[in-house]
Structure 1
């Protein structure tokens, strides 16, 4: 049986991938996909993208179930197939030792202030630039002497370029800097990779239907879905103040959405499409962060390893999907017609990748509190910068809604720190009494 297993695995993977490919091609020729109103074009695009990802996911899932059924990993051996299956699906028992955690390095105050300032500036520059370029690429017309004005439409191609550069940069960091021993089976990265791709795609696609300030505020208002995902996936128990601040945040977001001008909303239909895309974006993004948190805790994965392997799967998913849709040629043709797009696309990807590195470095050195404060400031500056550059209209009530959102975020951070200090103080008092 073991000698035939590699052949059976190859057959399962190739036949399943071919079957999904044929279904996708047949679906692309149906009236359902070819004659969709412009305001609902994102629906067939999302469907064909997901079917493209299934070319990789379904064969992988069936291979995993077959390997489990025949207990292939327990046969032993050193062949290429065995090693590959072991890396992808092999589980290794591993219990974190609290004593093995790296202790933070105590630095002089002046050095710490300089380092925080460096990370603050790096995050602001990378993500503010990324936000401006993201809105430009998805909403502004490109012009050239050889062609008329045209919008770039393929959000998935942007996701692909971003993920390729992020994978290369994180892979280079792994080669240069020493990392923890990697113990996580690779297939577990596929879940958060898929949700990460979908959240990014929805984020780009939503800019066709809602303004950038709406998108940023929706991103800030993802606290409630994150809490829901946390309770479902990680079984987390939240404090009272977390529910209160989430309600305040949601009220502020609702006020802003109802009163701020949306220059993408040419009709109620496009507004509805934008709202659905924002909900999908927030849901996928919330799952991504919670699933990654599970891998961090279970397998002691380093942030750079997480970035590398998640982007590795993202590159595979998006490239296969683009190839089966024959979309690479269209995007490359657009790049040749509008050279300015090449520069924007490259800078967008660089800012995204550099921003991810700053995020992981900030969290590892200063913790989630400092990162949350920097992110909150960045979101406020993103809205301000977008309104200045692209002339988005904001009325007084809309500004009040924005203020409520950011007040709730800062209040949440403050209450969290106060609670930690109270708990620490109670622990010290208990120790003194026991002594």
Structure 2
């Protein structure tokens, strides 16, 4: 009994829960690594047949680009589509804007509700849901099914990336999502949203580590402004200290740093895969969510928490509907992201999502009564001003580069 109480107490802490999750994920990573090394060292590709199993193993470990059968996949010629009218473009932009706002604002409100509020049922019981990993799973399973269905009904470019490479960004994506949910136990939702808006800084650092990227001066200036604004917000928060000790605040900060670091790695690794293998965004979405489902369901089953979460869902029907809507918003939000970027480009997408983050803070403060001081408000304004300044400078720099390239071409 004493050992069980110690284990239960350990699992109630974020450090203990994180440790157990990582041990469970290792039961997928370690056997997977050994299998991949076996096939590579045994030169399986040289003796692979043309059967379904051989093709599956080849795709997982080598990618279709190593297929021994010579294929000449010639993409269909691109036909220039007529320019759409201003009204049509405005309708598309409005569709993207309101689709992203509705998906992610609803997702943010439900995220905070699930992780911080109590649930009541008709029997008068009161419950508090605590398993962040289960929420990651329900989000990823629907996103995977949507992406897989889309791939099944549309023509996609030849997929040349080894499927196992998705596991790295899938793991970091799981961990960033886990940190995002877990942080709400220790910090307010506005603090978390502002930290997400500040993830430009760790993204730049990770870009230097992963891809040796170089950045412009304005990017460093805006990064400093964002850091300063975030500090102003944290210092100016008037959140009651009666519910949170200094250790709780420290835990929240550590988890948020973990979230930003994992999220930064995810975007940079996905960028490397896009540049090397030229897959479509939906192929990336399907591959990442496939491994995310594999990791989370394995860990949930091993810990015995999958059944516990399902029982909680049955006991509290309101939680079931919140989880369902949460996963729908997450999956449709990903589809809106890819659609918006494909139509209007990343700059318009960043502006829309920046507006969404500001509205998310406003909604959270209104719905859940999070007080913010004048200094905190100034910090919020400084962060979002720096983000818009960054977008504007990036856009202007690209325009200047295009003009110089056009001028050089004209001289030649």
- Specify the TM-score bucket, using the shorter chain as the normaliser: over 0.9
Alignment match, 1:143: 120
Among residues 344, 349, 354, which one is paired with 2:332 in the alignment?
A: 354
Confirm or deny: 8 A CA contact 2:337 2:349 kept in the other structure. yes
Among residues 359, 373, 378, which one is paired with 2:356 in the alignment?
A: 378
Alignment match, 2:221: 244
User: What secondary structure is seen at the aligned counterpart in 2 of 1:352?
Assistant: helix
Alignment match, 1:172: 149
Q: Deviation per CA, 1:322-373, whole angstroms, max 9, x where unpaired?
A: 0000111211111121110000000000000000000011111111000000
Q: Residues of 2 paired with 1:108 and 1:58: CA distance?
A: 55
**Structure 1 residue 81: Cα displacement:** 4.6
Is 1:295 aligned to residue 267 of structure 2?
Answer: no
Among residues 51, 66, 79, which one is paired with 2:23 in the alignment?
A: 51
Q: Deviation per CA, 1:24-58, whole angstroms, max 9, x where unpaired?
A: xxxx96886444495xx011111111111111111
Q: 1:255 to 1:76 in 2, by over 3 A?
A: same
Q: Residues of 1 paired with 2:87 and 2:188: CA distance?
A: 41
Q: 1:410 to 1:101 in 2, by over 3 A?
A: farther
Alignment match, 2:294: 316
Q: Deviation per CA, 1:87-117, whole angstroms, max 9, x where unpaired?
A: 21014269xx9x9996885322221111011
Is 1:253 aligned to residue 193 of structure 2?
Answer: no
Confirm or deny: 8 A CA contact 2:107 2:329 kept in the other structure. yes
Q: For 1:195-210, what aligned pairs fall within 5 Å after superposition?
A: 195-210=172-187
User: What secondary structure is seen at the aligned counterpart in 2 of 1:308?
Assistant: helix
Deviates more, 1:62-71 or 1:334-343: 62-71
Alignment match, 1:133: 110
Is 1:71 aligned to residue 43 of structure 2?
Answer: yes
Q: Deviation per CA, 1:1-34, whole angstroms, max 9, x where unpaired?
A: xxxxxxxxxxxxxxxxxxxxxxxxxxx9688644
Alignment match, 1:61: 33
Confirm or deny: 8 A CA contact 1:209 1:274 kept in the other structure. yes
Q: Deviation per CA, 1:359-394, whole angstroms, max 9, x where unpaired?
A: 011111111000000000000000000000000011
Q: For 1:29-428, what aligned pairs fall within 5 Å after superposition?
A: 33-36=7-10, 41-79=13-51, 81-91=53-63, 92=65, 105=81, 106-262=83-239, 266-428=244-406
Alignment match, 2:70: none
Q: 1:237 to 1:102 in 2, by over 3 A?
A: farther
Q: Deviation per CA, 1:309-329, whole angstroms, max 9, x where unpaired?
A: 111111111001000001112
User: What secondary structure is seen at the aligned counterpart in 2 of 1:153?
Assistant: coil
**Structure 1 residue 83: Cα displacement:** 2.8
User: What secondary structure is seen at the aligned counterpart in 1 of 2:125?
Assistant: strand
Q: Residues of 1 paired with 2:380 and 2:27: CA distance?
A: 42
Q: Deviation per CA, 1:153-182, whole angstroms, max 9, x where unpaired?
A: 111111111111111111111122221111
**Structure 1 residue 136: Cα displacement:** 0.4
**Structure 1 residue 147: Cα displacement:** 4.3
Confirm or deny: 8 A CA contact 2:183 2:252 kept in the other structure. yes
Aligned length: 402
Q: Residues of 2 paired with 1:100 and 1:253: CA distance?
A: 48
Q: Residues of 1 paired with 2:50 and 2:4: CA distance?
A: 47
Q: Please, what is the CA RMSD of the aligned residues?
A: 2.2
**Structure 1 residue 85: Cα displacement:** 2.0
Q: Which runs of 5+ in 2 are unaligned?
A: 68-72
Q: Residues of 1 paired with 2:240 and 2:284: CA distance?
A: 37
Q: Residues of 1 paired with 2:22 and 2:353: CA distance?
A: 30
User: What secondary structure is seen at the aligned counterpart in 1 of 2:403?
Assistant: helix
Q: Residues of 2 paired with 1:104 and 1:44: CA distance?
A: 56
Q: Which runs of 5+ in 1 are unaligned?
A: 1-27
**Structure 1 residue 80: Cα displacement:** 5.2
User: What secondary structure is seen at the aligned counterpart in 2 of 1:174?
Assistant: helix
Q: 1:32 to 1:67 in 2, by over 3 A?
A: farther
Q: 1:108 to 1:231 in 2, by over 3 A?
A: same
